[in-house]
Amino acid sequence: MYQLEEPKYLYLLALVGILVALFLFQLIWKRRKQREFANDDLLRKLAPDTSTFKPILKFVTVALALVALIIALVNPKIGTKMETVKRQGIDIVFAVDISKSMLAEDVAPNRLEKAKQLVSQIINNLGNDRIGIVGYAGSAYPVLPMTTDYSIAKMYLQNMNTDMVSSQGTALNDAIRMATQFFDSDETSKLIVLISDGEDHGDGAEDASLIAEELGIKIITIGVGTPNGGPIPIKGYNGQVTEYKKDKEGEVVITKLNQETLETIAENASGGYVSGNSTKDVVNQIKNALDNIEKTEFETQQIAEYQTQYQWFIGIAFVLLLLDIFFLERKTSWLQKLNLFNER
C-alpha cells in the first residue's frame, strides 16, 4: 500500500524529459561540429584522454538525482500496518429502525433520514468510544460490528434502507437481543441507542430490555415521528409519490409515534427517552448521558499512519550528486586498461 501526498509535483518529471532531449541534441550538434574540424582518428590524437562515455554517465547521474528530488517533493507514503492501541471509552450499539413506517414524512425529510442524521451527529461528538450498528424491522440485521472507525460507520449508516430486511414490522425485542450480542467484553461500559418510531409489531420488547439491564447494558431510546403521524408513501422509479400504503380495507395507513413503548424500554434498562425532533437537543442529551457513564480502557486494532519516505529519495539524490563530482570527463587510467566502455 502506498499514498502520494503531493502528486501534483509529478508533472515536474516532464522537465527531465526535456533535459534528455536537449542533451541528445547537444551531443549530436557537438559531434557534427567536431567532424567539421577533424576526423575521428585526428580527434583521438588531439585529445587522447577525452572520454565519450563519461559525459553521458554524468548526465544520467544528474538526471536520476533530479528524479529522486522530484519524488521527494511528491512524498510517497508507504508501509501501513495494523497496530494495537489502548483507548478509554464505552461500547455503543446504534439500533436503527428500518421498517416501512420509517418512510413516513411527518418529520423532514422522512423518519429514516432523520434517524440517520441523528446517529451521524452523535458519532461526530464521540471521542474514543467503539460503536456498532444494527438495523431492524420484522427481524434484526447486523450492519456493522464494533469498530472505532467512525468514517466507515457513517458510510454503512448512509447505505441503510428499508429493503435490507425482507420481513416487515418493528421487532424491538429482536433489535435489543441482537445489540446485546455485539458487546464482546464484560469489562467495558455498554450502551444501546435505539432509534425508532416505537410501533412495535413484535412481542417481548420489555422483557428484552430487562435482560439488557441484567447484563449491565443501558438503553437510550430516541423517538422519531409525531403523535399525529403520517401516511407511508410508495414512490415510483422517478422518486415521486405514486400512492400511500393502505390496509386490507383499502384505508390509508397512518403511522404514529408510540412514545410510551420507547419510554418503557428506556426505563427498564436504566436509560432515558429522548425526542428526536431536535437534532441539537438529541446530541446534547446523549452527550450528557455519556458523561455520566464510566469510561473503561480497552484495546483495539487500527491502521497505522502511512510512513513518509521522502528522506530516502533526498539521500539518493545527495549520493548521486556527490558521485557526479568525482566523475571527470577524461578517461580513468585503470578503467582504460580494463576497456569496460570499449573506448579503444
Which three cell numbers, joined as nine digits, stand for 203?
412481542
Cα of first residue to Cα of last residue in the chain, in angstroms, is: 49
As a residue count, the chain comes to 344
State the residue for C-alpha cell 458519532: 123
Query: Tell me: domain 85-302, CATH 3.40.50.410, correct?
Result: yes
Q: Distance between CA atoms of 344 and 342, rounded to whole angstroms? A: 6
Q: Which residues pair with 219 in a beta bridge?
A: 192
pLDDT of residue 277: 86
* Tens digit of each residue's pLDDT, the chain (344 residues): 667 778 888 888 898 899 999 988 988 887 777 666 666 666 565 555 566 667 788 888 899 999 999 999 988 887 665 566 666 788 999 999 999 999 999 998 999 999 999 999 999 998 888 899 999 988 888 999 988 889 999 999 999 998 887 777 678 888 899 999 998 777 788 999 999 998 866 667 888 888 888 888 999 999 999 999 999 998 877 778 788 888 888 899 899 999 998 999 999 998 899 999 889 989 998 999 888 887 776 666 555 566 778 888 899 999 988 888 877 665 555 445 555 555 55
Sheet holding 91-97: strands in order across?
Answer: 140-147, 130-136, 91-97, 190-196, 217-223, 272-275
The closest of 142, 144, 196, 194 to 169, measured between CA atoms, is 196
Q: Say if residue 109 is exposed, middle or buried (CB neighbours under 10 Å; 0-12, 13-18, 19+).
A: exposed
SS3 for 308? strand
pLDDT of residue 127: 81
pTM over 0.75: no
State the residue for C-alpha cell 422509479: 237
Which three cell numbers, joined as nine digits, stand for 173?
425485542
Q: Distance between CA atoms of 246 and 169, rounded to whole angstroms? A: 15
Q: What single DSSP character describes residue 10?
A: G
pLDDT of residue 334: 44
Contact 83, 301 (CB under 8 A): yes
Q: Distance between CA atoms of 233 and 226, rounded to whole angstroms? A: 16
pLDDT of residue 299: 62
The closest of 153, 143, 80 to 121, measured between CA atoms, is 153
State the residue for C-alpha cell 575521428: 40
Residue spans of the domains in the chain: they are 2-79+307-338, 85-302
The closest of 136, 116, 108, 69 to 321, measured between CA atoms, is 69
pLDDT of residue 41: 64
